[in-house]
């Protein structure tokens, strides 16, 4: 990731150049740098469940699917940056997923 020397905005890769989407400034890429895009940078965050410990914290929450009273939870930004994050729950029994505002 590179930032524009002129305006400080994040630059986008275009062939052998970094191009600023805000001011149009162009900078050559460093030929000695190793720019690698890994698979996990291409995909949004995925929460895996069902394979043992999910690593997520648990809380008291009533599952709308099976009435279990425990669920894992995580926060995720799904709207614009100026909006608050949304809390998601995953039932510890049936792995049903729901959002805090779903019920």
**Residue numbers belonging to the annotated binding site for Zn(2+):** 4, 7, 20, 23, 63, 66, 91, 94
Instruction: Give phi and psi for 86, each to the nearest 5.
Output: -105, 135
Binding residue ranges: 4, 7, 20, 23, 63, 66, 91, 94
Work out the end-to-end distance of the chain between its first and last CA atoms, rounded to an integer number of angstroms.
Answer: 40
Which segments within 21-101 are labelled E, that is strand? 26-28, 58-60, 70-76, 86-91, 97-99
């Amino acid at each position: 990731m590179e930032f524009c020397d002129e305006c400080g905005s994040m630059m986008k890769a275009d062939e052998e150049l970094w191009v600023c989407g805000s001011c149009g400034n162009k900078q050559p890429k460093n030929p000695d740098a190793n720019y690698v895009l890994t698979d996990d940078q291409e995909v949004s965050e995925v929460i895996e469940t069902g394979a043992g410990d999910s690593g997520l914290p648990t809380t008291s929450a009533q599952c709308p699917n099976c009435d279990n009273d425990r669920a894992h939870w995580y926060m995720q930004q799904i709207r614009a940056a100026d909006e608050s994050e949304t809390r998601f729950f995953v039932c510890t029994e049936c792995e049903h997923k729901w959002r805090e505002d779903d019920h």
